[in-house]
Structure 1
């Protein structure tokens, strides 16, 4: 059973930004034209984080299959994640910090990671609410946290700030 642990984002900020810069350069070289975004809690100032780096790669529909092949050469498929005709997840648990990659088709059902980031960056009250949820699950099992997190993000998707994006 995975246990949830959090740290202040600032504590790992240098390592996250260094890894993001390296990965972005690599990804731009193999996926020209892709929109590569730093997402997740490490992309939101003052957030609590599990200490991993999340990257969203947004591609046009005609580029999706090529992107899956290219990313499969570099990263492990995240088998615990949903797979659709417009979304795939990859990971590199050996990276420091650990790395998660979400490949999405632009404007598809799963093209929301950057929106969550932007809403949390722009509304400190929402960020604090999300951090409070994380604190409630500190030391608890990951599955329970993920269920509560999904409920939070479903709520966030109904906010005026999210709907504007």
Structure 2
């Protein structure tokens, strides 16, 4: 059973930001029209993180198929993740720090990672609740943590703060 461990992002934030910029530059070379966002806990100063970074690559529906092809040159396809006509996941577990890339069509059902970041950055109560959830799952099952995290984010999507980004 894979276990999850967390770190305070203060120890990690500068390296995460540096890694994000390196990957952003690589992606921009292949997809100059893409909106590339640093998302996930490493994008939120003073939060608790697993020690990886997440990037959301937002493209138009017309660019999506080509973006899959081009990102596959840089990163491994994450076949364990959801695949739809508007979402694909990629990863690089050998990167330091490990990397997850979420490719989304702009304004599609999976175009929410950047919204989560914005809500957590602007609202201490949600950020604290998310950090507390992580503390609760420290050294426990990764699958159980992911399930609890999914529930947390489903609830976050129902908040007025999150819905403000749908306007």
Where does structure 2 lack aligned partners over 5 or more consecutive residues?
A: none
What's the counterpart of residue 6 of structure 1?
Answer: 6
Q: TM-score, normalised by structure 1?
A: 0.99
| Deviation (angstroms), 1:17 | 1.1
Aligned to 2:44: 44
Matches within 5 A, 1:2-151: 2-151=2-151
**Alignment partner of 1:163: what SS?**
helix
Query: For the residues of structure 2 that align with 1:57 and 1:157, how far apart are their CA atoms?
Result: 20
For 1:31 and 1:16, locate their aligned partners in 2 and report how far apart those are by CA, in whole Å: 21
Contact 2:17 2:43 in 1 (8 A): no
Distance 2:75 2:45 in 1: 27
TM-score by length of 2: 0.98
- CA deviation digits over 1:51-87, x for unaligned, max 9? 0010000000000000000011111011110000000
SS for the counterpart of 2:2 is: coil
How many residue pairs were aligned? 165
2-structure distance, mates of 1:41, 1:157: 17
Q: Following TM superposition, where does structure 1 have runs of at least 4 consecutive aligned residues deviating by more than 3 angstroms?
A: none
Question: How far is the alpha carbon of 1:125 from its aligned partner?
Answer: 0.7
